[in-house]
Structure 1
Amino acid sequence: MKQPFGVILAGGQARRMGGGDKGALMLGGQSLLRHVIDRLDPQVDALALNANGDAARFEAYGLPVLPDSIDGFVGPLAGVLAGLDWAASQGAETIVTAAADTPFFPCDLVPRLMEAAEGMEYPLALASTDGRHPTFGLWPVTLREDLRAALSGGLRKIVQWTDQHCAQTASFAVAEFDPFFNINTPEDLAHAEGLL
């Protein structure tokens, strides 16, 4: 299997943080998005950002910005689909997604997901600690039309779709804290500062 492309999911509306881009929040002198880019970029062949609205606000990062192709903020699967369409146009076979509000995810995310999906006709795997973290996954480009049809048909829950395709699980250990801890509230941001 070729090295996947990476897609950072930043298309959410950040309601619990008062709206705006969670990725722009500062943590230890860097934006959350910069932390995520620095972790994912060395693990993938190319990197893009899934975000809606004015792409110019991300210009400083120098990444392609992929808006959802399905209207109405239908959730992370729309970002996965945008990433799969981009990867397909570049000749890639798979993508790995990571959430823009999760600065401590494992530095071996990609190889572990690829290992979990080894031997599958359609390599599909989700990260897991105590439960699955469905915004952290390996997704095959070959299933993008199936995903598009599912979204058009009203499907919104990631695991509902991945279970239909026998997604595997890559399990990660929890040491002092869950590496997939994500920042949803101002309290979470303060906690992350402490973890840094």
Structure 2
Amino acid sequence: AKSGRTLTTLHGHKNTIVKVQWNQNGNWLLTGSRDQLIKCFDIRTMREFQTFRGHKREVTALQWHPVHNGMFASGAWDGALYYWDVKQSEPLAVISTAHTSSVWDMDWHPVGHMLVSASGDHTTKFWTRNRPGDRVNEIYSHSSGDRDEVQPQTQQQHQNHPQQHQQHGAPSSFDHANNNRKRPFS
């Protein structure tokens, strides 16, 4: 027996869609695919309004920012993390070697100052930006391997390994949380 009916079908990807994510108001839907693309559909019109290009491998994780409605992050099979704004088809920032294996999940802290990513490399990493203009930083890395510990990475340690991160126009709206803990987005 049928328990529901199809309202509509969205098309546009050329390969398997592996991730979908509603925005907070329910008007936009992100789709991530093995075709290395992310598409944003406006559900009110049932039409695609933006395609996001930049991933070098399959998109495996998507998460809308909890405070800034048009911003989201994505992760990929190659361990890369990308930061996006729906108004731009190019990424705001890229961390090409965030993980050494696939990014399988990610989530923002409820106030949006920190992103956590989980990977097939057996790590959970926390990402933030300390001040306007700073690059995205890995602030903690938790490994689920033989050693179970949390190791902070200082700004100095991060600067000693700049080849680990690429930056393409840093997203200033991710910058404010660590500047003022009481008013994270003033």
Normalised to the residue count of structure 1, the TM-score between the two structures is 0.27
TM-score, structure 2 as length reference: 0.28
Higher relative contact order (CA 8 A, sep 6+): 1
> More strand per residue: 1 or 2?
2
